[in-house]
Amino acid sequence: MRIIVSGAAGFIGSHMCDRLLKEGNTVVAVDNLLTGSLDNLSHLDSVKAFQFIEHDVNIPMAAKLPGGSYDAVLHMASAASPKDYLAHPIETLDVGSIGTRNMLELARINNARFLVTSTSECYGDPLVHPQVETYWGNVNPVGPRSCYDESKRFAEAMTMAYHRTHRVRTNIARIFNTYGPKMQLNDGRVVPAFLDQALRGEPLTVFGDGSQTRSFCYVSDLVDGLYRLMLSDERYPVNLGNPREMTILEFAERICGLIRSGSTIVRRPLPEDDPRQRKPDISKAKRVLGWEPVVTLEEGLKTTTEYFRQKVAITT
């Protein structure tokens, strides 16, 4: 297949490009480098089936693309870490709305499949636990995080509208916290933040009392779920994440044990609208895609720690 991937220079996008190429596809990667880095794609420089185009997907791009038709459009572009979307709220709303519309148009004119990477943030601070796809969410539409949550909810609505109106073969992935190599050290998400602090021997920052829960999915598992979803006929959202839930405090202690840096834990006030609980119900992904995560937290953290160890060594 010939596939367009937006957000390709980001953490998940770059891993997705690797997987698509491994499966024998041709990839046209698009990114405006707002939060991504060309370093994530530099290993593909000499790969013939891969091409990178620096472009903001909020601007229509059909004219910039290599000729011929495309079989799939994967729309992964969006600031994703709280630090990034709080720094770029308008860009985040634009890429979920205008950017999604532009990418759906590309899919429509090419009669291509379309997949959008939505998020568990659509559930907001959930009143249903674990979160199942039929739950409509508890989102503050005017809080600081709304730029991300509402952008993704709009993206889902636009995707369904293109499916219903134009019969585009769409898929919606609701991704839960994912981690792995190629995350940015300083993007504010909990895995790089804890690993960075632990590897530098600094105290780990826990917000609130640390009793809020998260579940962490290793990136190769997530990419496998996205790939299966892209090939499926499922038009409604599918949760992709690891259901193994733990408190943030427990996670911080686990990282301290793993790195053995002797780091202590410091507490800071909980950010506004921080969700109390996060755990995906993945029964639908199991049933529809035959998918479930296979990488244990121990294995995933080992690989990720090795990556961050090198990064921290470079920056110190």
Residues forming the active site: 148
Smallest distance from ligand NAD to CB 179, Å: 7
Q: Which stretch binds ligand NAD (CB under 6 A): 66-74, 77-85, 245-253, 263-271?
A: 77-85
Contact (Cβ atoms closer than 8 angstroms) between residue 11 and residue 186? no
Smallest distance from ligand NAD to CB 2, Å: 19
* Packing angle, helices 11-22 and 219-230, rounded to 10: 60
9 or 73: CB nearest ligand NAD? 9
Interface residue with ligand NAD among 56, 125, 196, 224 (CB under 6 A) is 56
Q: Which stretch binds ligand NAD (CB under 6 A): 19-27, 30-38, 122-130, 308-316?
A: 30-38
Q: Is 7 exposed, middle or buried (0-12, 13-18, 19+ CB in 10 A)?
A: buried
Q: Which stretch binds ligand NAD (CB under 6 A): 19-27, 171-179, 194-202, 254-262?
A: 171-179
Q: Which stretch binds ligand NAD (CB under 6 A): 31-39, 201-209, 281-289, 303-311?
A: 31-39
Residue type, 61: M
* Packing angle, helices 146-166 and 100-110, rounded to 10: 20
Residue type, 106: L
32 or 197: CB nearest ligand NAD? 32
Binding to ligand NAD by CB under 6 A, coded x per residue (else -) over 104-123, reads -------------x-x----
Interface residue with ligand NAD among 20, 29, 36, 210 (CB under 6 A) is 36
Contact (Cβ atoms closer than 8 angstroms) between residue 118 and residue 237? yes
Smallest distance from ligand NAD to CB 111, Å: 23
Contact (Cβ atoms closer than 8 angstroms) between residue 27 and residue 97? no
Q: Does 220 bind ligand NAD (CB under 6 A)?
A: no
Please report which residue ranges of 184-259 form alpha helices under DSSP H. Answer: 190-199, 219-230, 248-259
Contact (Cβ atoms closer than 8 angstroms) between residue 178 and residue 217? yes
Distance (Å, whole) CA 136 – CA 119: 13
Secondary structure of residue 28 in the 3-state scheme: strand
Contact (Cβ atoms closer than 8 angstroms) between residue 270 and residue 206? no
Distance (Å, whole) CA 227 – CA 66: 23
Smallest distance from ligand NAD to CB 264, Å: 27
Q: Does 146 bind ligand NAD (CB under 6 A)?
A: no
80 or 263: CB nearest ligand NAD? 80
Distance (Å, whole) CA 203 – CA 283: 38
Interface residue with ligand NAD among 25, 26, 78, 100 (CB under 6 A) is 78
Q: Which residues pair with 73 in a beta bridge?
A: 4, 114
Q: Which stretch binds ligand NAD (CB under 6 A): 50-58, 135-143, 223-231, 290-298?
A: 50-58
Distance (Å, whole) CA 165 – CA 184: 38
Question: Please, which of residues 6-25 interact with ligand NAD by CB under 6 A?
Answer: 6-7, 9-13
Smallest distance from ligand NAD to CB 262, Å: 29
Question: What residues make contact with ligand NAD under the rule CB under 6 A?
Answer: 6-7, 9-13, 30-36, 56-58, 76-80, 84, 95, 99, 117, 119, 175, 177-178
